[in-house]
Amino acid sequence: PLFALRGQLHEARADIARLAAQLARAEAERDRVQALFNDDRNVSERTLQTARSQVEQDRAALAAARARADGLHARLVQGWGPLAGSASGEAPDELERLADRRNSLVAVALRGSGEAPPLMLLRLPDGNDAIEARRIGPAPRSLAQAAGETWLYKSERVLPTGTRLAARGVTGETMLSLVPNSAVVWYAGLPWVYVRDDDEPEEFTRQALPAESQRPDGWLAPKLEDDARVVTRGAQLLLSEELKHTLADENDD
Report the pLDDT value the prediction gives residue 172, as an integer from 0 to 100. 45
| Residue 176, pLDDT score | 46
Could you tell me how far CA 9 lies from the centroid of its own chain?
20
Residue ranges of the chain whose pLDDT lies below 70:
1, 82, 85-97, 99-100, 111-114, 125-129, 141-148, 163, 166-178, 212-213, 215-217, 220-228, 248-253
Cross-strand bridge partners of residue 131: 122
**CA 18: distance to chain centroid?**
32
> Residue 241 and residue 62: Cα distance in Å, rounded?
77
What is residue 5's predicted lDDT score, i.e. its pLDDT? 83
CATH code: domain 175-252 is 2.40.420
Q: Give residue 175's pLDDT.
A: 44
What is the spatial order of strands in the sheet that 104-109 belongs to? 104-109, 150-155, 131-138, 119-123, 166-170
